[in-house]
Amino acid sequence: MLVKTFGAAVQGIDALIITIEVAISRGFLFSIVGLPDAAVKESYDRVMSAIGQSEMKPPHKQILVNMSPADVRKEGAAYDLPLAVGILAADGQIQCPNLGKYLIMGELGLDGTLLPIKGALPMAIKAREAGFEGMIVPVANVDEAAVVNRLKVYGASNLSEVIGFLNGVSPIEPTEVDTRAEFARAADLFDFDFNEVKGQPLVKRAFEVACAGGHNILLIGPPGSGKSMMAKRLPSILPPLTLSEALETTKIHSVAGKLPRGSHLMTARPFRSPHHTISSVALVGGGSNHPLPGEISLAHNGILFLDELPEFSRQVLEVMRQPLEDRVINISRARYSVDYPAGFMLVASMNPCPCGYYNHPTKICSCPPGAVNRYLSKISGPLMDRIDLQVEILPVSFDDLQAEGDGEPSAEIRRRVIAARQIQTERYASEPGIHCNAQMGPRQMARYAKLSADGSRILREAMNKLDLSARAYDRILRVARTIADLDGEPDILPHHLREAIGYRNLDRSSWGSTIPKSPILQ
């Protein structure tokens, strides 16, 4: 007897429907074809043990399994459940005329327990697109898959429950998740707030500008000046995720198996902070056999924070150059080629020198001559040019630490950021793929970042004195456009441009001597 069941394979962050054909005849041979990996080939022993533990009779016959399309590699143990259902249905132990209406995925333990799988959300999205009526998954994945509406998602704890459901003996109620209510309830919950930060008005302002326009930012300052503490509070002033962004972000974390326990929808923008010993594959994604998203994709729609930037391998840093521009990373290997989204906001921090105390107000730098420039040269010029704001930070003074009262709360800063982002959303409504000022290309800049005669003169002088590159020129214009949006100004005014130039600290030959003051703060 020949029976078809349906599963799914994850490619990149999307899924592909896999048809599993099971034919049973006389004999004692088990054979599986269709480019299965070792985990799929080993499924026979798990499936037969699970069938026996589920009070069903393991069919000791000749079993032929074909998994199509045959040119797509089938990886992992998540095909155990559709294989078990197909074998039992082909043997006549499951009587379900509507078996083809369900997409079935799950890993089996030897006792028939259903174990969680990766990528349940993209599989559910594909199941709805393909017209399936329902989806059967392990109970640990049911909330994640149920985020997809107009699809009945059934969660089961073991193989016996699946068999009873398909035979119509023990019904399972489909799980429903009110996605919008869940999203709205958790969208404004943060562990950190900017009202806990004492002093540092210039850095707070730089963070506000960066979040308002989606710009990359680098903080340079001695240990203990608050770089990491302030960076951790950035998600609290970023605009909230839209529902489509939340679903896209959740898909990436689902495929990587990184969804927080008990969570089924990413409601806050991700904040990823890898250690400086990370490899280039772990950062951008890939792998020798089974490709997975890297840190830059896990930070999609959120923040990638690189603390102690010069300590990262130069090779690791250089692989970020293309994703920073294109907001997507293509992983090409001999066996596969996948695209992962990488639309992240880069936030980095570093010490000013190896000892960390260059330009410190009270401590003496012990580095030999030339050490500062050598330390900074660990970061290539092209990568530095891709960082829009470069801000020097000094330790907080004693008076600021002793000041009573809280600082400006994140909610107030976020309100201004959202207002600026709303201006950009309306501005780029007719520009596909562009949502904020940091994404502007030459055509958009020529249209939306025009300078007056005074502005052109100011920028020309800055370009000549600071010897800025063409890419730095573009970055200054993008940042100035964002500052104007924060002020609600339709045009870039001279003081907007001066402030934007002030955020290119590392382009200055004397960057370590003073902190350029923003005209807004004077």
**By three-state DSSP, how is residue 256 classified?**
helix
- Nearest residue to 438 via CA among 293, 326, 329: 326
Q: Tokens at residue 264, please?
A: 């089924």
**Contact of 20 with 5, CB cutoff 8 Å:** yes
For residue 433, the 8-state DSSP code is T
**Contact of 233 with 410, CB cutoff 8 Å:** yes
Q: What is the pLDDT of residue 187?
A: 62
pLDDT, tens digit, 9 for 90 and up, residues 115-131:
999 999 999 999 999 99
Q: Tokens at residue 385, please?
A: 């040019």
Q: What is the pLDDT of residue 520?
A: 37
Q: Tokens at residue 153, please?
A: 């998602």
Q: Rounded to whole angstroms, how far apart are CA atoms 11 and 8?
A: 10
For residue 475, the 8-state DSSP code is H
- Nearest residue to 106 via CA among 80, 85, 135: 80
Q: What is the pLDDT of residue 515?
A: 37
pLDDT, tens digit, 9 for 90 and up, residues 322-366:
999 889 998 887 777 888 999 999 999 999 889 888 878 788 888
**Tokens 């499936």 found at:** 47
Q: What is the pLDDT of residue 155?
A: 96
- Half-sphere exposure for 182 (CA within 13 Å, toward CB): 17
Q: Rounded to whole angstroms, how far apart are CA atoms 479 and 488?
A: 14
Q: Rounded to whole angstroms, how far apart are CA atoms 359 and 510?
A: 11
Name the residue type at position 392. Answer: E
- When the pLDDT of each residue in the chain is averaged and rounded to a whole number, the result is 88
Within a 10 A sphere around the Cβ of 223, how many other Cβ atoms?
14
For residue 158, the 8-state DSSP code is B
- The 3 state secondary structure assigned to 448-486 is HCCCCHHHHHHHHHHHHHHCCCHHHHHHHHHHHHHHHHH
Within a 10 A sphere around the Cβ of 121, how many other Cβ atoms?
27
pLDDT, tens digit, 9 for 90 and up, residues 205-249:
999 999 999 999 999 988 888 888 899 999 999 998 888 888 899
**Contact of 84 with 114, CB cutoff 8 Å:** no
- Nearest residue to 267 via CA among 293, 294, 238: 238
pTM of the complete model? 0.86
User: Looking at the DSSP assignment, which residues form a beta bridge with residue 137?
Assistant: 155
Total count of residues recorded for the chain: 522
Residues of the chain with pLDDT under 70: 182-188, 262, 398, 400-402, 404-405, 507-522
**By three-state DSSP, how is residue 56 classified?**
coil
